[in-house]
Structure formats: C-alpha cells, structure tokens
Homo-oligomer: A and B are copies of this chain.
Amino acid sequence: MANEKKLVEKITARSDDFAKWYTDVVREAKLCDYSNVKGCLNYLPNGYAIWENIKNDLDKRFKETGVENVYLPVLIPESLLQKEKDHIEGFAPEVAWVTHGGLEELEERFCIRPTSETLFCDLWQKMVKSYRDLPLVWNQWNSVLRWEKTTRPFLRSREFLWQEGHTLHATDEEARERCEMMFKVYYDFVTEDLAIPLICGKKTESEKFAGAEDTYTIEAMMHDGKALQSGTSHYFGHGFADAFDIKYLDKENNWHSAYETSWGLSTRIIGAIIMVHGDDNGLVLPPRIAPKQARIIPIADYKEGVLEEADKLFRDLKDSGLRVEIDKSDKTPGFKFAEQEMLGIPTRIEIGPKDIEKGQVVVVRRDTGEKMVVKRDEILKKLPEILEDIQKNMYATAKQFLDEHIYEAKNLEEMQQISAEKIGFIKAMWCGDSNCEDEIKDKTKGMGSRCILEKEKKITDKCVCCGKKAKHVVMWGKSY
C-alpha cells in the first residue's frame, strides 16, 4: 500500500491546480516529454500509440469518402510562401528558416512547412489542365513547425504531428460540400471514437484561418471549462487558386478558376482526451482508441496455477481480437492497480487463486471504478460489452459536464458576472463587429468567440456588447 500511495501522490489533484495536474498526468503516464530541442516534444511509446490509433481510425474514415494520401516536401521556398497575401501575413512571423544546405549558403531561403497550402497549389498549378483532372482529394500525415514562444505538451509545441487534407474542385458548390463533409468526419470521429462531446460551427472573421473564406471548427470543453479547438475545415473559394493561377478547361472549353479546401486535426486532440476524461488517478482512455483495452493482473502469482491461468486468459482475449496485456512484474498488486489507473487502461482484470477456484475473474472499470465478478467462461463475451459501455458512459459523462457548463447571457454585465463566477462557455448574441469581439474578450478576461452557432435559436435581438442589431448566436469561451 505504501508504494501504491506514493504513485498516486505524485499527481496533483485537478481541483488544486488543473494545469499542474495535466503536466503530472502527461509525465507519469509517459506520454511525451520536452526534448532538448527547445519547444519540441519527444512523443514516447505510450503517447505515440494513442496517435497511431487516432491515425488508423481517422484515415479509414477519410478513405471511405475517397481521400488519397500523398507526401509533399518539408521545405517551402520563401517566394512560394509569399504568393498568397493573407497566408504569408498569418505565417511569416512563426516559421523556421533554412539558410544553408551542406556547406553552402542558399540563394533563396526555405522555411520548414507551417502548413502546406502553398506546396499543394504549386503542384496543382502544374498538374491540372482539364475538368477531367478534378476533383483532387488529397491528405498527408506529417509534422509541421511553428516557432511558438511557449510550449505545453500536446497543446502547443513548435513541431507537432497532424494530418492536413487539401482538395481542389471544379465548382464552388462541390468544394463547400467537401469542406462540410470533412468537418462532419471530424465530428463523428471525435464524438464516437474519442467520446468527446463537441460544440461546432463557423469561426468569426477574426478567428478564421489565414487565407480562408470560411473556417469550420469543432470545439471541446476541458474539465476546467476552457475550450480546445480540436479540428478545423477551411473553405478557400478561389483565392489560393487565383494567387497560384490554377485554372482548368471546362467541357465547353472555357477557362475556369478552381475551388479549394483544407482541413486538419493534430496531436492537440490527445490533450483533449486527457483534459476531458482524466481524473485524479490519472489518464482515462476511451476503449476504442486505447492502445490496450485491458490489463490482466495476476494476484498471488507465486501460487501454483495462477500464472498459467492468467496466461491462458491473456491468449484467449488476444485471440478474440481485444488489445490486452498482462503485468507479470514483481511489483505489489496495489502498485500495479495504481499504475494501470494512471495509464488510463479502460479495464483491469484481476485473477487469483480464489477466482480460479470459483471459475471467475474480477473486472474493474477505469471510468467508474466499479468492480464486477465475471464468470471465466463468459469473459470473452462480456468484456467487449463492458468496453462498449465504458465508451458510452464516458461520452455521456462528458456530455453532461458540457451541458451543465453552458450559460446564456443577455448583456455584457451578465457575461462578466458568469465569467467571473463560473467555468464554462457562454452563449450570447453578436452584431458581427470585431470591435465587439475584442471588447467582450477584454471585459470578461478572455472569453473569445469559439464559433457561430448557425442553427441555434436566438436569445435576444441585440448584440450582447454594443446593443445594436444582432446577427449571430455565438458560443464564447476561454481557450487553450
């Protein structure tokens, strides 16, 4: 018990210091750590395995909609980055510049890609000639680099892993459809596989991506009530295509502008998994994405037959397609329990001499802590059901938390009061003027517009800030 306690004590309680709790979990669950390359992370096996599962699941969803994967260079020539005006303004201050190759100084600088719109445009300008060449629906899984000043594991680092999808279309309509389709893919993936409930909608003018006409966002609420932007899908119109001179001949032999989208989801989402589901015992992983869904812990394994039975259980579960492991280390059971909880493995299965005698095992759920006695000959059938129930319960718990932490405000005083007293989001009307956005942020100590709720019922007719005619219902929140 001494060991067990010691392990758990290492974590700060969420209610004491949420930020410290977060970094404690990341460290103790060995997900990633700071590298000696300032601002960059080392993604360790436990963290990277989560990302691999995210990749596999999301990639499958992409491919079902016709996405093809590609890989474009890590470097962008300075002249290329500068071709689209808004884009270069958005990214120039935060890129890393390569000035020397081998022993020579380069004639033109290259930046390490902060995102790859310009490379895709450059390639498509060469490739696309006719309507027959369209649409192009491409994606790449890669890393990008942005010279951030502050770093937090998964949430903000100079280099991060993501996917960036880029598509080119003959018509405005088709491009808009693709933009919304990928936004929907993110929504389904995050709610179904990661058990994270979402708020979603369009970004306001000042919050959208550099160069985009529209940016759609999915936003999740962390346990401290702050928002995490978890995936975005951008509609570019023909802005990039015009800047890069991407045209195609239509069926009537007339030249036309092409229309573009891009969409991305990054390792930030691992931060969301931690901060939505984690508790004071550590990480809690949704079963669909957990690298291991169950850890078997033999009890009194020095007694005859225990290890053999545990091994048999392990093989049976593995053969049935579950992701399972067995802890045969010489640590105490208490320590092992605490470790399994810290790592967020959705279930642990205890099997000892008495269980073997009674033909049973003990399953402990990570999400609720509930202990269940399951008959040994029913475990192959029961465990998938338990995992599915955990997945559902995790979503329901997070959804309840989200719903309980959304408030409505009719005027700025109400917003200020709620923001001062409560954690969470505030729904309020907005006139569409970015000055009001700035003022709201300033007066509420950081409530920024998360997104416009397009189909939401309006609260009043007036902007919460200036009192003029309101155009949109907006979700406001402090954010990471």
**A residues touching B (Cβ–Cβ < 8 Å)?**
35-37, 40-45, 48-49, 51-52, 68-77, 80, 93-103, 109-110, 112, 119, 122-123, 138, 142-143, 145, 147, 159, 161
Contact = CB atoms under 8 A, between A and B. Distances in A.
A40 B75 contact: yes
Contacts of A40: 73-75
Contact of A49 (B69, B93, B101, B109): B69
Contacts of A77: 36-37
Contact of A73 (B41, B68, B123): B41
Nearest to A75: B37
Contacts of A48: 68-71
A75 B97 CA distance: 12
A105 to B, nearest CB: 9
**Most B Cβ at <10 Å: residue of A52, A76, A101, A143:** A101
Contacts of A110: 37, 96
Contacts of A99: 97-100
B73 A45 contact: no
Q: Which 3 A-B pairs have the closest CB atoms?
A: A40-B73, A45-B68, A43-B71
Contacts of A100: 96-97, 99, 109
Contact of A42 (B51, B73, B143): B73
A147 B77 CA distance: 15
Given A94-B102, A97-B99, A102-B147, 18 more contacts: A35-B122, A41-B73, A42-B71, A42-B73, A43-B71, A43-B72, A44-B70, A45-B70, A48-B70, A49-B68, A52-B69, A73-B159, A74-B145, A74-B159, A75-B96, A97-B98, A99-B99, A142-B143
Contact of A45 (B35, B69, B109, B145): B69
A110 B39 CA distance: 13
A53 to B, nearest CB: 11
Contact of A96 (B45, B69, B80, B98): B98
24 contacts: A35-B73, A35-B122, A36-B77, A37-B73, A40-B73, A41-B73, A42-B70, A42-B72, A42-B119, A43-B70, A43-B71, A43-B72, A45-B68, A71-B143, A74-B74, A74-B112, A74-B143, A94-B102, A96-B100, A98-B112, A99-B100, A100-B109, A101-B147, A102-B147
Given A74-B112, A96-B98, A112-B98, A123 B42 contact: yes
Nearest to A95: B102
A110 B73 CA distance: 18
Contacts of A145: 74-75
Contacts of A51: 71
Contacts of A138: 45
A291 B47 CA distance: 29
Contact of A35 (B36, B37, B97, B123): B123
Contacts of A123: 35, 42
A75 B96 CA distance: 10
A45 B135 CA distance: 13
Contacts of A122: 35-36
A394 B96 CA distance: 46
A88 to B, nearest CB: 13
A121 to B, nearest CB: 11
A94 B69 CA distance: 29
B70 A37 contact: no
A140 to B, nearest CB: 8
Nearest to A97: B100
Contacts of A37: 73, 75-77, 110, 119
